[in-house]
Chain A
């Protein structure tokens, strides 16, 4: 069951533009994570946000976690072709005795053209 709604699903922009990707849920997660995935590879963790209202920056990427810990956004400033990829948000939930399992959003496929 997809508990996370991600938008937009597809985004094509030119180099230098800014963009924001949204991740919304009706559930509260222990943490929310953002991953980036390139074709034919596994996802790579970008950031984890845990505290409501938290803001984290990773170079040109800014991540925000909503006060209620149900939604998050990823903002990219001055996008570059190297930012092209599938961006996935994932909510961590307790999974029996196994620690945490991740529920993924549908992903945002970003294409940045020169």
Chain B
């Protein structure tokens, strides 16, 4: 089956720095990828939709200047958390929909800890 690879799996950064998370579709092209955020023992909350070749669309309440999304190719989307603060610490997960189907393939997730 299709695979989505996310990197890094965990990162610790200092408050005020920026962190980039990569999401790659390994054996298929993804014109769209979704970015989710998940707090401990809670569900996934959609943050934004990454669109290849165009601007990302953000869910209500998500700061687009803080969570920069770039989808420069059909196999790579990146999420950059800018000027990270401890409250940004969370589990970030990307997904790519299975083209023509309603299912999605998920990356392994990135555990971000801001100290």
| Residues in A lying within 8 Å of B, measured CB to CB | 2, 6, 30-31, 33, 35, 40-45, 48, 50, 86, 88, 92, 95-96, 98-107, 109
Contact = CB atoms under 8 A, between A and B. Distances in A.
Contact of B44 (A31, A88, A100): A88
Given A43-B44, A101-B97, 20 more contacts: A33-B103, A40-B109, A40-B111, A41-B108, A42-B6, A42-B95, A42-B106, A45-B103, A45-B104, A48-B102, A99-B32, A100-B102, A101-B34, A101-B46, A102-B34, A102-B104, A104-B45, A105-B43, A106-B42, A107-B42
Interface in B76-109: 91, 93, 95, 97, 99-104, 106-109
A99 B97 contact: yes
Nearest to B91: A40
A108 B27 CA distance: 31
Interface of B: 4, 6, 9, 31-32, 34, 41-46, 49, 51, 57, 91, 93, 95, 97, 99-104, 106-109, 111
Given A42-B107, A98-B32, A31 B102 contact: yes
A30 B102 contact: yes
Nearest to B96: A99
